[in-house]
A and B are shown apart, each in its own frame.
Chain A
Amino acid sequence: MSQPAPHLHQGPTTRGTMLAAAGCLVPAVAWGVLVQGPGALAVLAVAAGASLACELAIGLAAWRRFTLADGSALLTGLLVGLSLPVYVPLFVPAVAAAFAVAVVKASFGGLGRNWMNPALGGRLFVTFSWPALLAVRPRPPAGWLRVPAGLTDGSLLGGSGQLGLVSTLLLALGGAYLLARRIAAWEVPASFAVSFALTVWALGGLPAGEGLFRGDLPAALATGGFALAAFFMATDPVTAPRGRAARLAFGAGCGLLCFLLRVYARRAEAPFLAVPLMNMLVPLLERPAARRGRK
Chain B
Amino acid sequence: MKSRSGEFPRRLWGENPLVAYLVGLCPALAVSNRVANALLLAAVMLFALLGTGIASVALERLLPPRLRLPARLLLASALVSAAQRFLWALAPTLGAGLGIYLPLLAVNCLLLGSAGAGSVAEGVLEAAGRGAAFAAALASIALVREVLGAGRITLFPVGHFSGVVSLRGLPPARVLAAAPGAFFLLAYASALVRRRKRRVA
Contact = CB atoms under 8 A, between A and B. Distances in A.
**Same assembly:** yes
B187 to A, nearest CB: 8
B178 A130 contact: no
Contacts of A125: 173, 175
Contact of A91 (B170, B172, B175, B188): B170
Contacts of B174: 128-131
B176 interface: yes
A37 B48 CA distance: 62
Interface string A116-151: 000000000100111101000000000000000000
Contacts of A128: 174-175, 178
Interface in A99-129: 103, 107, 125, 128-129
A95 interface: yes
Q: How large is the interface on B (under 10, 10 to 19, 20 to 34, 35 or more residues)?
A: 10 to 19
B184 A130 contact: no
B171 interface: yes
Contact of A103 (B170, B171, B173, B184): B184
A181 to B, nearest CB: 36
Nearest to A133: B171
Interface in A135-187: none
Contacts of A107: 187-188
Interface in B145-178: 170-176, 178
A91 B171 CA distance: 10
Contact of A129 (B176, B187, B188): B176
9 contacts: A91-B170, A107-B187, A107-B188, A125-B175, A128-B174, A129-B173, A129-B175, A129-B176, A130-B171
Given A129-B172, A129-B176, 18 more contacts: A91-B170, A95-B173, A103-B184, A107-B187, A107-B188, A125-B173, A125-B175, A128-B174, A128-B175, A128-B178, A129-B173, A129-B174, A129-B175, A130-B171, A130-B173, A130-B174, A131-B174, A133-B171
